[in-house]
A and B are shown apart, each in its own frame.
Chain A
Amino acid sequence: MAEASLAPPAVDRGPLAWARRRLFSSWLDGLVTLGFGAFVLWVFFEALDWAVLGAVWSLEDKELCAPGGGACWSVIEARGRLILFGLYPFEQHWRSTLACLVIVLTMGLSCVPRFWGVRRLPLLWLAGFGGFMLLMYGGVFGLSVVTTEQWGGLSLTVLIFASVVVIGMPLSVLLALARRSDMPVIRGVAGGIIDVVRSLPLLTILFAAAVVVPFVVPDWAQGDKLVRVILAFAVFFACYQAEIIRAGLQAIPPGQEEAAMALGMKYWRRVIDILLPQAFRSSLPATINQFVITFKETSIVTIIGFFEIMASGNAAVGTGDWAGQFIEVYVFVGAIYFCFVFGLSRYGAYLERRARLGQA
């Protein structure tokens, strides 16, 4: 047969072979590499020149800023506090910073497998959230009271994100369980809510909470506008998250629940100890993805008049002084979002890899 005459496969290891494979596998490939390589280098050096080499860094050098020149980072020194803290009282900015760090720490800790428990994780988040509110609102331990109207900037973004997740997660579990219930009315109501909310844009739901709800509920039940909007956002989050959890629940072999029933476990026992831990584990990547989307979507509350980081960024360039420096400010705000979102999505990708290797 022909087998004997076949040469051994060519060795394609080593840097040269690698460069051949990835950069110059054919004539066309080589042309693409050179052409687009030059383009990439050009963009990179232009960006470097704009952002670093030709940039003006401090507020004193503000006069050096020229249109068409490098970045004018003076605007960040001048307006950075407005962007990050909004209207929070100047002397209390450390509290806002610390509060953000508490939430970031809580998010970091929830990434540690040790905290992944049906009881531990909610406790951790309640503690982190409590710490955040204590620092932001004050009124105890000699901290002065800062009302929610003065909250703004990054801490408001983080507050909206954290409270949407904290309220939305349990709600999503309830909705997912209700949609899988064997009682037709409960199943129908939950399914109806989930499907209607999911087919509407977030903005319309937040708008309804801000503008329409005062119209249809009695005065005593209206509450703060911020609270209403956060609750509506949480419902929106819960409807998406409920479908993710439902998928996780469906992935559990039915034998698991039957075995738990055979052991005489009651419904909530089965849910908490058998179903939820497994459902959460398999739906973790999708859940992280939902967090990523939610963090980005907090920026939508700008439209209904809250002063979170997107709005404060806009305000920083809204006045005449710095109107020309909008690129710097948007890049700055974008970089902050990027840090949170990129970090979260990398973590999600890591979890997915881990799950694929079968170690999770």
Chain B
Amino acid sequence: MLGILRTHKARAWLYQGLALAATLGLALSFVLIARQNLLDQGIATGFGFLERSTGWPINFALIEVSDRSPYWRMLTAGLLNTLLVGLLGLASATLVGVAIGLIRISSNLVLNVIGTTYVEIFRNVPLILQAFFWYAILTHLPSPRRAIPLMDIGFLSNRGLVLPALDISAADVFLFAAGTALILYGAARLGGAGTRASRWAWPLALAALAALFVLLLLTGRTPEAPLLTLPELRGLRFVGGFEIKPEFTALLIAITVFGGAYIGEIVRGGFLSVDKGRIEAARALGLKGFQINRFVRIPLALRAMLPALANQYVWLMKATTIGIAIGFPDYFMVVSTSINQSGQTMELMALLMGGFLLVNYGIGFVMNRVNARLAIKDRAG
């Protein structure tokens, strides 16, 4: 009987069966024990709790939430916060990173020194320490009474930055963003078509944008309401205006600065990977300096950067979770507070994982599309 185990195939089946049984057994025991624990605590399983109201507020949200909001709305607010700080962070970290990368490959020694110092300092200190640092700086600013005025329209204090607010609704912002995207897409299609109308693509797009802006300003507003509300000090705090909380700013600065150091290295690597011979070939063909950059160096460098950049974006997006350390209510913070308050551990963990899988696969999807667009077309294709 045991002789049959000597054959390779039989052993392979045995091992696989054991692995499968162990995995399933472990999962089953988790579920059973969790169910027992829930029964003991008298908590109903399932996602019904999402309709219940939370009973606790969060200090920063893009959509209107209060302590009476249901769980699903609070979780949505958290996910939007993660997306907001993450996407803004990615954009600004990319800008900083490109600047740092270009500085590091320039021939100027002084610029090299600046770039290298920046990268070495901010890459070698943990992100969470940097977040604590910026948060401490921002919360040690003067109180609102002694706030630092910024050209008399904004104020910087330990409660955050207040700016004049445009009196527009979230729906307007959404419409404007959607309209802008549509116009830009159309302009890119028209501009790339290579017809006679092509050179009018960008001026037309600008005009369309302006028209959209004016249209949105004129419609859907009560005429007597002021367009701009200026912040005003009343008692111990500012009233009116648009307030940017220090938690948000600190996290955004930390992600920008830290991510910028990493992206700077990716950009530098991308440019260094461009074969010298190709640049020489471009020069031999009579291309000018600007043309060499536009048609040869940047496209090639970009292709080399993209995979590393995609990884870095996903990494930074996941790193926003440390916002909980300084009290920024991102998705993770909302989920963990919900777990504490409602006890619906399994459901909320599933939502947490689902949320991050969604965000990460979203980034992966976009980056793959960009990669496919940029990939060098072979002659066959």
Whether B15 lies near A183 (C-beta < 8 A) is yes
Interface 0/1 of A321-339, CB less than 8 Å to B: 0001011001001100110
Chain A residue numbers with a CB within 8 Å of B33 are 215-218
For chain A, the bracket of interface size reads 35 or more
Interface 0/1 of A1-27, CB less than 8 Å to B: 000000000000000000001110100
Q: Which residue of A lies closest to B20 (CB)?
A: A185
Chain B residue numbers with a CB within 8 Å of A23 are 108-110
Whether B352 lies near A334 (C-beta < 8 A) is no
- Our pick among A40, A182, A299, A317 for the contact of B129 (Cβ within 8 Å) is A299
Let me know if A201 is at the binding interface, CB within 8 A.
yes
Let me know if A64 is at the binding interface, CB within 8 A.
no
Given contacts A22-B107, A189-B20, A207-B336, contact A200 B356 (CB under 8 A): yes
Binding site secondary structure of chain A: helix
Given contacts A185-B16, A300-B128, contact A324 B325 (CB under 8 A): no
Those of B83-122 within 8 Å (CB) of chain A: 107-111, 113-114, 120-121
Chain A residue numbers with a CB within 8 Å of B141 are none
- CB of B344, distance to nearest CB on chain A (Å): 11
Interface 0/1 of A88-110, CB less than 8 Å to B: 00000000000000000000000
- CB of A70, distance to nearest CB on chain B (Å): 17
Interface 0/1 of A298-309, CB less than 8 Å to B: 011011000000
Interface 0/1 of A162-195, CB less than 8 Å to B: 0000000000000000000011111001000000
- CB of A300, distance to nearest CB on chain B (Å): 6
A32 to B19, CA, bound (A): 63
Chain A residue numbers with a CB within 8 Å of B349 are 208, 212
- Our pick among B111, B132, B321 for the contact of A36 (Cβ within 8 Å) is B111
Given contacts A40-B113, A184-B16, A326-B136, contact A199 B360 (CB under 8 A): yes
Q: Which residue of A lies closest to B41 (CB)?
A: A215
- CB of B288, distance to nearest CB on chain A (Å): 16
Chain A residue numbers with a CB within 8 Å of B121 are 338
- CB of B146, distance to nearest CB on chain A (Å): 13
Let me know if A290 is at the binding interface, CB within 8 A.
no
- CB of B10, distance to nearest CB on chain A (Å): 12
Those of B14-51 within 8 Å (CB) of chain A: 15-17, 19-20, 23, 29-31, 33-34, 37
Chain B residue numbers with a CB within 8 Å of A303 are 128, 322, 324-325
Given contacts A185-B20, A204-B353, A218-B33, contact A337 B129 (CB under 8 A): yes
- Our pick among B34, B124, B319 for the contact of A345 (Cβ within 8 Å) is B124
A3 to B15, CA, bound (A): 73
Q: Which residue of B lies closest to A36 (CB)?
A: B110
Interface 0/1 of A30-64, CB less than 8 Å to B: 00110011001000000000000000000000000
Chain B residue numbers with a CB within 8 Å of A297 are 126
Let me know if A118 is at the binding interface, CB within 8 A.
no
- CB of A211, distance to nearest CB on chain B (Å): 7
- CB of A119, distance to nearest CB on chain B (Å): 25
Chain A residue numbers with a CB within 8 Å of B132 are 310, 314, 330
Whether A334 lies near B318 (C-beta < 8 A) is no
Let me know if B345 is at the binding interface, CB within 8 A.
yes
A40 to B115, CA, bound (A): 11
Chain A residue numbers with a CB within 8 Å of B325 are 302-303
Whether A22 lies near B133 (C-beta < 8 A) is no
Those of B304-324 within 8 Å (CB) of chain A: 314, 318-319, 321-322, 324
- CB of A334, distance to nearest CB on chain B (Å): 5
Let me know if B74 is at the binding interface, CB within 8 A.
no
Let me know if B357 is at the binding interface, CB within 8 A.
yes
- CB of A17, distance to nearest CB on chain B (Å): 13
Whether A204 lies near B128 (C-beta < 8 A) is no
- CB of A199, distance to nearest CB on chain B (Å): 5
Closest 8 CB pairs of A and B: A185-B16, A201-B318, A216-B30, A299-B126, A22-B109, A296-B126, A326-B136, A341-B124
Q: List 18 A-B contacts (CB under 8 A).
A: A36-B114, A182-B12, A199-B361, A200-B356, A204-B332, A204-B356, A211-B336, A212-B345, A217-B33, A296-B127, A302-B128, A310-B126, A327-B133, A330-B136, A334-B125, A334-B129, A337-B125, A345-B124
